[in-house]
Structure 1
C-alpha cells in the first residue's frame, strides 16, 4: 500500500509544472521548492561534477545554483521549464571556478545526428567484435570522458550537455546562448573527433587480442 502511494505521489510530482512550483514557492510553500531541487539536482550535479572534476567543489557549486534559483524566482518566466536556465547558471558558475583556478581557457565558449541519438556508445568505431574486457562500461566511460575533455572548448560544452545531461539541442542553444542549429552543427563536428580519439584507444587493444 505504501509503495503504491509513493508511486502515485511521484507521478503527481512529475505532472506539476516548474512554473506552478515557482508560484507555490513564492506563496510560501517550501515543499514546492524542495520538489524543484529533487527534480533537477541529479542532472545538474552530474554536469557540474564532470566539468570541474572535483566532487567537493561540485557540491558547493550545485548548492550555489539552487540558491540562485531561489533568489531569482520573483523575476523568472514561469511559463517555461527551468531546465535550460539552471544549466546556464551551472555553466556560468563552473566557468567562474575554472577561470579562478586558471585550469583552462574558455574564451571560445563565450562567443549532428538525429534528436534521438543520445547514446555515447554510438561513437565507438565499427571494427568487428570487441574483446570482453573492452566492453566494460567503466573503462568506456573513462575513455569517453577523456575524449570529450580533449575536444575544442566550443564543441566540448555542447557534447557535455548532450551526452551527460541529455539536453535537447533547443535546450543546449538556450543554455549556451546560441541558435539551435549552431548547437547541432557543433555536435556533428565533434562526433568525428570523438570517434578518432576512441579509435586510438581501441585499436591497440584489439590488435593485442588478435595476436
Structure 2
C-alpha cells in the first residue's frame, strides 16, 4: 500500500514538473497524451468556473468541450513560454458571456469593465455566529444563497470573485484573464468580500427563520 501511494505521489510530482508548453509541443508532435494531460490539469477548475457562471451542469459540460477544442485548434499560435491557465479561463469566460447573451438570463456583458493569506473559501466568509449546516439539504440551500450573492455583486467584482473561488486562479492570473493590473484584481476581491458577507448573513438569517 505504501509503495503504491509513493508511486502515485511520485507520478504526480513528475507531471507537475512538465510545463504547459512541453505538453503543447508533445501534442503538436503527435503525442495525444500531451493533450490528455492538459485536459486533466485544468478540467476540474475550468468546469467549476463555467458551472458557476451558467448554473447549468449539462451546458457547462458542452462549454468545457468547446474550450478544449479551441485550445487544440489554437495550439500553433499559442505562446508556450508561460502557463495556459489565464488563456484558458479567458476563453471559458468569453464562451460563458456568449451563452448568457443568447439566453439573456444574466447580464454579464458589463464584466469587461490583500494578500493570498486573507483569501477564504466562500463558506468561511459567513459570520462567526452563523453555524455551518450539517444536513445536505441545508448545505445545498447555502450553496444557492452563495451563488445568488455572487450574482448580485457589481459586475466588475463578480468576475474576479468567480475566477478566484470557482477557478482557483491567483490574482496575477486573474489580472491576465481580465486584462487588468494584479493590484486592481486584489482590490476588487477585497471590496467584494464584505458585500458577500452581508448578503450571505441576510440570506442565512432568512433561511434559518424558515427551518
Structure 2 residues without counterparts, runs of 5 or longer: none
Which of 37, 40, 60 is the aligned partner of 1:38?
40
Which residues in structure 2 correspond to 1:37-76 (within 5 Å)?
37-76=39-78
Shift of 1:139: 3.6
**TM-score (norm: length of structure 1):** 0.88
CA distance in 1: counterparts of 2:166 and 2:109, whole angstroms: 22
- Cα-to-partner distance string for 1:18-37 (whole Å, 9 max, x where unaligned): 11111111111111111100
Q: Structure 1: 5+ residue runs without aligned partners?
A: none
How many pairs does the alignment contain? 207
Residues 111 and 158 of structure 2 are in contact (CA less than 8 Å); yes or no, is this contact kept in structure 1?
no
Question: TM-score normalized by structure 2?
Answer: 0.88
TM-superposition CA deviations, 1:48-91 (whole Å, max 9, x none): 11111111111111001001111111111111011111000000
- Which residue in the other structure is 2:22 paired with? 20
Q: Deviations over 1:79-116 (max 9, x none)?
A: 101111100000000000111111222332123x3213
Counterpart of 1:189 in 2: which secondary structure? helix
Q: Is 1:92 the counterpart of 2:94 in the alignment?
A: yes
How many Å separate the matches in 1 of 2:161 and 2:8? 35
Equivalent residues in 2 for 1:186-197, closer than 5 Å: 186-197=188-199
* 1:172 alignment counterpart: 174
Partner of 1:115: 116
Aligned counterparts of 1:24 and 1:65: Cα–Cα separation in 2: 19
Which whole-Å CA distance do the structure 2 matches of 1:105 and 1:81 have between them?
A: 30
Partner of 1:184: 186
* Structure 1 residue 126: Cα displacement: 3.3
Cα distance change on mapping 1:204 and 1:91 into 2, 3 Å: closer
